[in-house]
């Protein structure tokens, strides 16, 4: 059974803390994505990666960075967490060259709900 695993389901952090959200997929997918989901808004793309060590900004990259040192792992980093980063964070992956997901099926992780106090 294919899987995308996110390391933490629930996190509570304080303003200014550095936060790491980890995502691991076991499907040998080329593409990996980080989205955030907020009430009343659709999923919004933060960053994506189409290969090891490659990264591309999504629609809302401000305040975030990412790391992809290995094909199976894509990390989202909040350098200095702020209250407006309280959200549900979803990692996804897909097969296929070229990076973008329009014509590739996405497999999502269970989500990480982050609260920043």
Partner 1 sequence: KNEVEQSPQNLTAQEGEFITINCSYSVGISALHWLQQHPGGGIVSLFMLSSGKKKHGRLIATINIQEKHSSLHITASHPRDSAVYICAAPGLNTDKLIFGTGTRLQVFP
Return residues touching partner 1 (CB under 8 A). Answer: 37, 40-45, 48, 58-59, 88, 90, 92, 98, 100-103, 105-111, 113
**Residues 73 and 23: beta-carbon distance below 8 Å:** yes
Q: How far is the CB of 105 from partner 1 (least distance, A)?
A: 5
Q: In the complex with partner 1, which residue's Cβ is closer, 67 or 107?
A: 107
Q: Tell me, what DSSP letter sits at residue 84?
A: G
Q: In the complex with partner 1, which residue's Cβ is closer, 57 or 70?
A: 57
Kindly list the distances between the CA atom of residue 113 and the CA atoms of 3, 33, 59, 70, 101, in Å, as whole numbers in the listed order.
Answer: 19, 16, 20, 24, 23
Q: How far is the CB of 73 from partner 1 (least distance, A)?
A: 19
Q: How far is the CB of 16 from partner 1 (least distance, A)?
A: 26
Q: In the complex with partner 1, which residue's Cβ is closer, 48 or 74?
A: 48
Is residue 89 packed enough to be buried (19+ CB in 10 Å), middle (13-18) or exposed (0-12)? buried
Q: How far is the CB of 70 from partner 1 (least distance, A)?
A: 23
């Amino acid at each position: 059974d294919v899987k995308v695993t996110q390391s933490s389901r629930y996190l509570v952090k304080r303003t200014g803390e550095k936060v790491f959200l980890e995502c691991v997929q076991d499907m040998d997918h080329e593409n990996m994505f980080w989205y955030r989901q907020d009430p009343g808004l659709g999923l919004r793309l933060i960053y994506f990666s189409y290969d090891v060590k490659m990264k591309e900004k999504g629609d809302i990259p401000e305040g975030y960075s990412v790391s992809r040192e290995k094909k199976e792992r894509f990390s989202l980093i909040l350098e200095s967490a702020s209250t407006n980063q309280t959200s549900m964070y979803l990692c996804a992956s897909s097969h296929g060259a070229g990076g973008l997901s329009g014509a590739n099926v996405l497999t999502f992780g269970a989500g990480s709900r982050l609260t920043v106090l």
